[in-house]
Protein backbone atom coordinates (compact mmCIF):
# COMPACT_ATOMS: atom_id res chain seq x y z
CA UNK A 1 0.00 0.00 0.00
CA UNK A 2 1.28 3.48 -0.88
CA UNK A 3 1.99 5.53 2.24
CA UNK A 4 1.22 9.19 1.69
CA UNK A 5 3.92 11.62 2.85
CA UNK A 6 3.09 13.89 5.78
CA UNK A 7 3.65 17.55 5.05
CA UNK A 8 3.69 20.36 7.58
CA UNK A 9 2.67 23.78 6.30
CA UNK A 10 4.08 26.57 8.47
CA UNK A 11 2.40 29.92 7.93
CA UNK A 12 4.49 32.89 9.09
CA UNK A 13 2.63 35.69 7.32
CA UNK A 14 3.01 37.70 4.13
CA UNK A 15 0.66 38.41 1.25
CA UNK A 16 0.02 34.77 0.47
CA UNK A 17 -2.09 34.26 3.57
CA UNK A 18 -4.39 37.16 3.02
CA UNK A 19 -7.83 37.32 1.50
CA UNK A 20 -9.58 40.26 -0.01
CA UNK A 21 -12.67 41.30 1.80
CA UNK A 22 -14.85 42.11 -1.19
CA UNK A 23 -17.10 44.37 0.87
CA UNK A 24 -14.40 46.53 2.42
CA UNK A 25 -11.83 45.96 -0.39
CA UNK A 26 -9.08 45.50 2.21
CA UNK A 27 -6.63 42.64 2.67
CA UNK A 28 -6.88 40.69 5.87
CA UNK A 29 -5.07 37.70 7.34
CA UNK A 30 -6.60 34.39 6.43
CA UNK A 31 -7.35 31.75 9.05
CA UNK A 32 -5.12 28.90 8.03
CA UNK A 33 -7.25 26.35 9.82
CA UNK A 34 -9.68 26.87 6.95
CA UNK A 35 -7.08 26.25 4.30
CA UNK A 36 -8.56 23.02 3.05
CA UNK A 37 -11.98 24.63 2.73
CA UNK A 38 -10.66 27.68 0.86
CA UNK A 39 -8.44 25.71 -1.52
CA UNK A 40 -10.25 22.44 -2.20
CA UNK A 41 -7.65 21.47 -4.84
CA UNK A 42 -5.28 20.67 -1.99
CA UNK A 43 -7.37 17.60 -1.17
CA UNK A 44 -6.30 16.09 -4.49
CA UNK A 45 -2.64 16.10 -3.53
CA UNK A 46 -1.09 12.75 -2.70
CA UNK A 47 -0.09 13.72 0.84
CA UNK A 48 -1.45 14.40 4.32
CA UNK A 49 -1.25 18.06 5.19
CA UNK A 50 -1.14 19.60 8.64
CA UNK A 51 -0.95 23.33 9.20
CA UNK A 52 0.65 25.43 11.87
CA UNK A 53 0.51 29.19 11.96
CA UNK A 54 2.42 31.90 13.82
CA UNK A 55 0.03 33.24 16.50
CA UNK A 56 0.47 36.62 14.92
CA UNK A 57 1.37 36.29 11.24
CA UNK A 58 3.76 39.04 10.19
CA UNK A 59 4.77 40.99 7.14
CA UNK A 60 8.22 39.64 6.35
CA UNK A 61 9.76 43.11 6.75
CA UNK A 62 9.34 42.48 10.48
CA UNK A 63 11.27 39.18 10.44
CA UNK A 64 14.28 38.98 12.71
CA UNK A 65 16.54 36.29 14.14
CA UNK A 66 13.96 35.31 16.78
CA UNK A 67 11.49 34.42 13.99
CA UNK A 68 14.13 32.37 12.14
CA UNK A 69 14.76 30.46 15.36
CA UNK A 70 11.02 29.98 15.82
CA UNK A 71 10.64 28.48 12.32
CA UNK A 72 13.71 26.29 12.83
CA UNK A 73 12.39 25.03 16.18
CA UNK A 74 8.98 24.22 14.69
CA UNK A 75 10.80 22.10 12.10
CA UNK A 76 12.92 20.48 14.83
CA UNK A 77 9.91 19.69 17.04
CA UNK A 78 8.09 18.09 14.12
CA UNK A 79 11.06 16.60 12.30
CA UNK A 80 10.30 12.95 12.91
CA UNK A 81 6.54 13.20 12.32
CA UNK A 82 6.73 14.91 8.93
CA UNK A 83 8.40 14.01 5.65
CA UNK A 84 8.58 17.55 4.30
CA UNK A 85 8.01 21.15 5.33
CA UNK A 86 6.55 24.11 3.45
CA UNK A 87 7.20 27.54 4.93
CA UNK A 88 4.76 30.23 3.81
CA UNK A 89 6.50 33.58 4.06
CA UNK A 90 6.28 37.12 2.74
CA UNK A 91 8.41 37.49 -0.35
CA UNK A 92 10.24 40.65 0.77
CA UNK A 93 12.72 38.92 3.08
CA UNK A 94 12.12 35.32 2.06
CA UNK A 95 15.64 34.93 0.64
CA UNK A 96 17.12 36.04 3.97
CA UNK A 97 15.02 33.63 6.05
CA UNK A 98 15.57 30.79 3.60
CA UNK A 99 19.35 31.41 3.54
CA UNK A 100 19.47 31.63 7.34
CA UNK A 101 17.53 28.35 7.66
CA UNK A 102 19.97 26.65 5.31
CA UNK A 103 22.75 27.33 7.85
CA UNK A 104 20.68 26.79 11.00
CA UNK A 105 19.18 23.41 10.03
CA UNK A 106 22.06 21.00 10.45
CA UNK A 107 22.19 17.54 8.88
CA UNK A 108 18.89 18.21 7.14
CA UNK A 109 17.67 15.09 5.36
CA UNK A 110 14.22 16.35 4.38
CA UNK A 111 12.86 19.07 2.09
CA UNK A 112 12.10 22.53 3.46
CA UNK A 113 10.39 24.57 0.76
CA UNK A 114 9.82 28.29 1.29
CA UNK A 115 7.17 29.97 -0.81
CA UNK A 116 4.80 32.92 -0.88
CA UNK A 117 3.10 35.02 -3.51
CA UNK A 118 2.80 38.47 -5.02
CA UNK A 119 -1.02 38.47 -4.82
CA UNK A 120 -3.12 37.22 -1.89
CA UNK A 121 -4.59 33.75 -2.04
CA UNK A 122 -8.08 35.25 -2.19
CA UNK A 123 -7.38 37.37 -5.26
CA UNK A 124 -8.88 36.17 -8.54
CA UNK A 125 -5.56 36.47 -10.42
CA UNK A 126 -3.50 35.09 -7.58
CA UNK A 127 -0.16 33.36 -8.06
CA UNK A 128 -0.56 31.88 -4.57
CA UNK A 129 -2.40 28.69 -5.53
CA UNK A 130 0.20 27.49 -8.02
CA UNK A 131 3.07 28.39 -5.69
CA UNK A 132 1.46 26.70 -2.72
CA UNK A 133 0.27 23.57 -4.51
CA UNK A 134 3.57 22.97 -6.31
CA UNK A 135 5.60 23.72 -3.18
CA UNK A 136 3.62 21.00 -1.38
CA UNK A 137 4.19 18.63 -4.30
CA UNK A 138 7.92 19.34 -4.22
CA UNK A 139 8.04 18.69 -0.48
CA UNK A 140 6.21 15.38 -1.09
CA UNK A 141 8.57 14.04 -3.75
CA UNK A 142 9.93 10.68 -2.69
CA UNK A 143 12.16 8.02 -4.18
CA UNK A 144 10.86 4.48 -4.59
CA UNK A 145 12.34 3.51 -1.21
CA UNK A 146 10.42 6.33 0.50
CA UNK A 147 13.45 8.62 0.92
CA UNK A 148 12.82 12.27 0.09
CA UNK A 149 14.15 13.34 -3.31
CA UNK A 150 15.15 16.77 -2.06
CA UNK A 151 17.07 17.19 1.18
CA UNK A 152 17.81 20.89 1.43
CA UNK A 153 16.22 24.27 2.01
CA UNK A 154 14.78 25.61 -1.22
CA UNK A 155 12.55 28.38 -2.47
CA UNK A 156 9.70 27.82 -4.92
CA UNK A 157 8.23 30.69 -6.90
CA UNK A 158 6.59 31.01 -10.31
CA UNK A 159 7.30 27.56 -11.72
CA UNK A 160 10.88 27.35 -10.46
CA UNK A 161 12.51 25.66 -7.52
CA UNK A 162 15.76 27.27 -6.42
CA UNK A 163 18.40 26.53 -3.82
CA UNK A 164 17.30 28.91 -1.03
CA UNK A 165 20.69 30.44 -0.32
CA UNK A 166 21.27 31.26 -4.00
CA UNK A 167 18.18 33.42 -4.36
CA UNK A 168 17.46 37.10 -4.31
CA UNK A 169 14.21 39.02 -4.74
CA UNK A 170 14.49 40.94 -7.98
CA UNK A 171 11.01 42.25 -8.68
CA UNK A 172 8.20 43.75 -6.60
CA UNK A 173 5.69 43.61 -9.46
CA UNK A 174 6.20 40.52 -11.62
CA UNK A 175 5.06 37.08 -10.54
CA UNK A 176 8.62 35.99 -11.32
CA UNK A 177 9.92 37.77 -8.22
CA UNK A 178 13.06 35.74 -7.54
CA UNK A 179 16.22 34.89 -9.33
CA UNK A 180 19.18 32.61 -8.68
CA UNK A 181 21.84 34.43 -10.66
CA UNK A 182 24.78 32.13 -10.01
CA UNK A 183 23.22 28.69 -9.68
CA UNK A 184 20.80 26.75 -11.89
CA UNK A 185 17.29 25.76 -10.82
CA UNK A 186 16.75 22.58 -8.80
CA UNK A 187 13.44 21.86 -10.50
CA UNK A 188 10.98 23.31 -12.95
CA UNK A 189 7.24 23.01 -13.06
CA UNK A 190 5.79 22.68 -16.53
CA UNK A 191 3.63 19.92 -17.91
CA UNK A 192 5.83 17.74 -15.73
CA UNK A 193 7.55 18.55 -12.48
CA UNK A 194 11.17 18.08 -13.55
CA UNK A 195 13.84 17.73 -10.89
CA UNK A 196 17.41 18.39 -12.04
CA UNK A 197 19.19 15.82 -9.92
CA UNK A 198 22.66 17.05 -10.81
CA UNK A 199 21.88 20.43 -9.22
CA UNK A 200 20.73 19.08 -5.86
CA UNK A 201 22.92 19.45 -2.78
CA UNK A 202 25.26 16.53 -2.25
CA UNK A 203 24.62 15.00 1.14
CA UNK A 204 26.65 16.30 4.02
CA UNK A 205 26.94 13.13 6.10
CA UNK A 206 24.53 11.25 8.26
CA UNK A 207 24.71 13.06 11.61
CA UNK A 208 21.58 13.66 13.68
CA UNK A 209 19.39 16.55 12.60
CA UNK A 210 19.58 19.52 14.95
CA UNK A 211 19.07 23.27 14.95
CA UNK A 212 21.81 25.83 15.46
CA UNK A 213 19.76 28.49 17.18
CA UNK A 214 22.27 31.29 17.59
CA UNK A 215 22.99 33.96 15.03
CA UNK A 216 25.32 36.86 15.84
CA UNK A 217 23.73 40.21 15.03
CA UNK A 218 26.83 42.35 15.62
CA UNK A 219 27.16 42.75 11.88
CA UNK A 220 26.88 45.64 9.43
CA UNK A 221 26.98 46.40 5.73
CA UNK A 222 29.18 48.95 4.08
CA UNK A 223 27.99 49.59 0.54
CA UNK A 224 30.47 51.52 -1.56
CA UNK A 225 29.41 54.32 -3.88
CA UNK A 226 31.47 56.88 -5.75
CA UNK A 227 31.94 59.81 -3.38
CA UNK A 228 31.70 57.81 -0.15
CA UNK A 229 33.44 59.76 2.61
CA UNK A 230 35.89 58.67 5.27
CA UNK A 231 33.34 59.63 7.92
CA UNK A 232 30.84 57.10 6.61
CA UNK A 233 33.42 54.30 6.39
CA UNK A 234 34.75 55.17 9.84
CA UNK A 235 31.27 55.27 11.36
CA UNK A 236 30.41 51.76 10.14
CA UNK A 237 33.75 50.17 11.02
CA UNK A 238 33.70 51.78 14.47
CA UNK A 239 30.25 50.60 15.53
CA UNK A 240 30.70 49.47 19.15
CA UNK A 241 31.14 45.68 19.44
CA UNK A 242 31.00 45.13 15.68
CA UNK A 243 32.20 41.64 14.74
CA UNK A 244 31.63 41.36 11.02
CA UNK A 245 31.06 43.62 8.02
CA UNK A 246 29.97 42.89 4.48
CA UNK A 247 31.82 45.26 2.18
CA UNK A 248 29.71 45.64 -0.94
CA UNK A 249 32.23 46.37 -3.67
CA UNK A 250 32.11 47.09 -7.40
CA UNK A 251 32.34 44.51 -10.20
CA UNK A 252 34.78 41.71 -9.48
CA UNK A 253 35.34 42.94 -5.91
CA UNK A 254 36.94 46.31 -6.58
CA UNK A 255 37.18 49.34 -4.27
CA UNK A 256 38.88 52.72 -4.08
CA UNK A 257 42.65 52.67 -3.56
CA UNK A 258 42.63 55.88 -1.48
CA UNK A 259 45.11 55.58 1.42
CA UNK A 260 42.52 56.53 4.07
CA UNK A 261 40.21 53.77 2.86
CA UNK A 262 42.90 51.08 3.03
CA UNK A 263 44.02 52.38 6.43
CA UNK A 264 40.48 52.23 7.87
CA UNK A 265 39.97 48.66 6.68
CA UNK A 266 43.39 47.61 8.01
CA UNK A 267 42.62 49.09 11.42
CA UNK A 268 39.27 47.29 11.67
CA UNK A 269 40.86 43.99 10.62
CA UNK A 270 43.56 44.39 13.28
CA UNK A 271 40.83 44.93 15.85
CA UNK A 272 39.38 41.55 14.88
CA UNK A 273 36.48 42.59 12.63
CA UNK A 274 35.79 40.03 9.90
CA UNK A 275 35.37 41.85 6.58
CA UNK A 276 33.82 40.03 3.63
CA UNK A 277 34.11 41.30 0.06
CA UNK A 278 30.79 40.80 -1.76
CA UNK A 279 30.10 42.27 -5.17
CA UNK A 280 27.22 44.68 -5.77
CA UNK A 281 26.64 42.94 -9.12
CA UNK A 282 23.67 40.60 -9.26
CA UNK A 283 25.66 37.93 -11.11
CA UNK A 284 29.32 36.90 -11.21
CA UNK A 285 32.00 36.65 -8.59
CA UNK A 286 34.55 38.52 -6.53
CA UNK A 287 38.04 37.84 -7.86
CA UNK A 288 40.48 39.84 -5.74
CA UNK A 289 43.73 40.53 -7.52
CA UNK A 290 42.22 40.64 -10.98
CA UNK A 291 42.32 44.43 -11.00
CA UNK A 292 44.71 46.80 -9.30
CA UNK A 293 41.67 48.14 -7.45
CA UNK A 294 41.29 44.91 -5.49
CA UNK A 295 44.92 43.94 -4.89
CA UNK A 296 45.05 46.07 -1.73
CA UNK A 297 41.97 44.25 -0.40
CA UNK A 298 43.61 40.91 -1.08
CA UNK A 299 46.83 42.02 0.61
CA UNK A 300 44.87 43.15 3.66
CA UNK A 301 43.43 39.62 3.89
CA UNK A 302 39.76 40.41 3.25
CA UNK A 303 37.51 37.39 2.97
CA UNK A 304 36.25 36.71 -0.55
CA UNK A 305 32.51 36.18 -0.85
CA UNK A 306 33.02 34.61 -4.31
CA UNK A 307 29.69 34.40 -6.11
CA UNK A 308 27.56 34.48 -2.94
CA UNK A 309 24.37 36.58 -2.83
CA UNK A 310 24.12 39.40 -0.33
CA UNK A 311 21.37 37.53 1.55
CA UNK A 312 23.47 34.40 1.93
CA UNK A 313 26.57 36.43 2.82
CA UNK A 314 24.97 38.30 5.71
CA UNK A 315 23.31 35.20 7.15
CA UNK A 316 26.48 33.12 6.75
CA UNK A 317 28.38 35.88 8.56
CA UNK A 318 25.83 35.80 11.39
CA UNK A 319 26.10 32.01 11.54
CA UNK A 320 29.91 31.74 11.47
CA UNK A 321 30.29 34.51 14.06
CA UNK A 322 28.08 32.48 16.39
CA UNK A 323 30.31 29.40 16.37
CA UNK A 324 33.71 29.20 18.04
CA UNK A 325 36.44 29.34 15.46
CA UNK A 326 39.83 30.99 14.96
CA UNK A 327 40.23 34.00 12.65
CA UNK A 328 42.13 31.88 10.12
CA UNK A 329 39.52 29.13 10.17
CA UNK A 330 36.79 31.73 9.82
CA UNK A 331 38.21 32.87 6.48
CA UNK A 332 38.58 29.29 5.27
CA UNK A 333 35.03 28.44 6.29
CA UNK A 334 33.56 31.55 4.71
CA UNK A 335 35.33 31.03 1.41
CA UNK A 336 34.22 27.39 1.16
CA UNK A 337 30.70 26.23 0.45
CA UNK A 338 28.88 24.95 3.56
CA UNK A 339 25.40 24.49 2.11
CA UNK A 340 25.97 25.13 -1.58
CA UNK A 341 25.75 28.89 -1.12
CA UNK A 342 28.82 29.66 -3.22
CA UNK A 343 30.85 28.06 -5.97
CA UNK A 344 34.11 26.57 -4.68
CA UNK A 345 37.20 27.57 -6.69
CA UNK A 346 35.29 30.05 -8.82
CA UNK A 347 37.53 31.10 -11.75
N1 LIG B 1 5.28 42.78 2.24
C2 LIG B 1 4.97 41.39 2.00
C3 LIG B 1 5.87 40.55 2.87
O4 LIG B 1 7.00 40.35 2.54
C5 LIG B 1 5.11 41.07 0.55
C6 LIG B 1 4.81 39.64 0.20
O7 LIG B 1 4.30 38.87 0.97
O8 LIG B 1 5.09 39.26 -0.93
O9 LIG B 1 5.44 40.09 3.89
CA angle, corner 185, sides to 108 and 81, nearest 5? 25
Q: Specify the CATH number of the domain 6-211.
A: 3.40.50.1170
Handedness of CA 132, 133, 138, 144 (dihedral sign): positive
Nearest residue to 14 via CA among 38, 32, 2: 32
Q: Which of 300, 302, 295 is CA-nearest to residue 222? A: 302
Scanning the chain, the segments in alpha helix (DSSP H) are 35-38, 65-77, 94-104, 128-140, 230-237, 259-270, 292-300, 310-320, 327-335
Assess whether 134 carries a catalytic annotation: no
Q: How far is CA 299 from the centre of its chain?
A: 31
Task: Determine which one of 12, 15, 97, 249 is catalytic.
Answer: 15
83: Cα within 13 Å, side-chain hemisphere: 22
Predicted model pTM: 0.95
User: Which residues partner with 169 through β-bridges?
Assistant: 178
Confidence of residue 35 (pLDDT cuts 50, 70, 90): low
Q: How far apart are CA 175 and CA 256, in angstroms?
A: 38
Torsion angle of the four alpha carbons 194, 195, 197, 198, in this order, in degrees rounded to the nearest 10: 70
Range 198-222 average pLDDT? 93
Looking at ligand 1, which atom is closest to the CA of residue 60?
Answer: 9
Closest ligand 1 atom, residue 58 Cα: 9
132, pLDDT greater than 60: yes
Ligand 1: centre distance to CA 284 (Å): 27
What pLDDT score does 248 carry?
Answer: 98
Q: How far is the CA of 118 from the centre of ligand 1 (A)?
A: 7
Give me the residue spans of the domains in the chain.
Answer: 6-211, 219-334
- CA dist., res. 242 & res. 226, Å (int): 24
- Four-way CATH pick for 219-334: 3.30.1310.10, 1.10.3720.10, 3.30.470.10, 3.40.50.40: 3.40.50.40
Q: Is the pLDDT of residue 306 over 80?
A: yes
Write the DSSP symbol of residue 142: B
pLDDT of 36 over the 70 cut? no
Amino acid sequence: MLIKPNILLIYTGGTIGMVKDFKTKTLRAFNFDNLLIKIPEIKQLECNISTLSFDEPIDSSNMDVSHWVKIAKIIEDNYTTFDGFVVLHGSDTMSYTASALSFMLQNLQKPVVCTGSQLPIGDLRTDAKENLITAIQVASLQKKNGDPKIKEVCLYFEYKLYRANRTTKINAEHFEAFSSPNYPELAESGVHLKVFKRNLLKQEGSGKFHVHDKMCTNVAVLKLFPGITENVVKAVLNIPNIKGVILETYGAGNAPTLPWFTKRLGKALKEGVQIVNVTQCVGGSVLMGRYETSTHLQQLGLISGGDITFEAAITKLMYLLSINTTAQNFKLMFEKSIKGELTDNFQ
